[in-house]
């Protein structure tokens, strides 16, 4: 049953939306389940304002996160052994960013995400 939920949530997350990630109009929140060794990504159009990506797990995993700019360059990462992450990016120009998360823990993890 849990594996079916993982597949459904992964499918839903694959339908990423373009949004303006500023606190006024583009704040994004999500939740779901991610299996061991699996992950997903969010693509977000952001401007020159500082944008924060936060991911919180259910406490028994190890979620690692990465941010890539519009050219595919890694601009931030949080790979602490912790069931969550926090990335801060401050672009010089309007660009499409990709925020990636991976569950490197030993169990399926329920997560909540927030981009603001």
Measured CA to CA, the distance from residue 41 to residue 10 in angstroms comes to 10
Measured CA to CA, the distance from residue 46 to residue 89 in angstroms comes to 10
pTM summary value = 0.75
Provide the CB-side half-sphere exposure for 56 (13 A, CA). Answer: 5
Position 48 scores a pLDDT of 85
Measured CA to CA, the distance from residue 55 to residue 36 in angstroms comes to 16
| CATH architecture of the domain covering 2-115 | Sandwich (2.60)
Q: What is the pLDDT along the chain (116 residues), one digit of tens a residue?
A: 444 333 333 433 443 333 344 433 478 888 999 999 999 998 888 888 899 999 999 988 899 999 999 999 999 999 999 999 999 999 888 888 999 999 999 889 999 999 98
Q: Domain residue spans in the chain? A: 2-115
């Amino acid at each position: 049953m849990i594996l079916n939920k993982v597949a459904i949530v992964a499918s839903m997350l694959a339908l990423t939306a373009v949004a303006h990630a500023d606190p006024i109009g583009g704040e994004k929140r999500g939740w779901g389940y991610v299996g061991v060794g699996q992950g997903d990504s969010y693509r977000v159009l952001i401007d020159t304002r500082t944008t924060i990506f936060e991911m919180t797990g259910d406490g028994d995993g190890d979620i690692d996160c990465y941010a890539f700019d519009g050219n595919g360059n890694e601009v931030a990462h949080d790979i602490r052994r912790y069931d969550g992450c926090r990335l801060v990016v401050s672009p010089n120009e309007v660009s499409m960013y990709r925020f990636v998360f991976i569950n490197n823990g030993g169990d399926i993890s329920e997560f909540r995400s927030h981009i603001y």
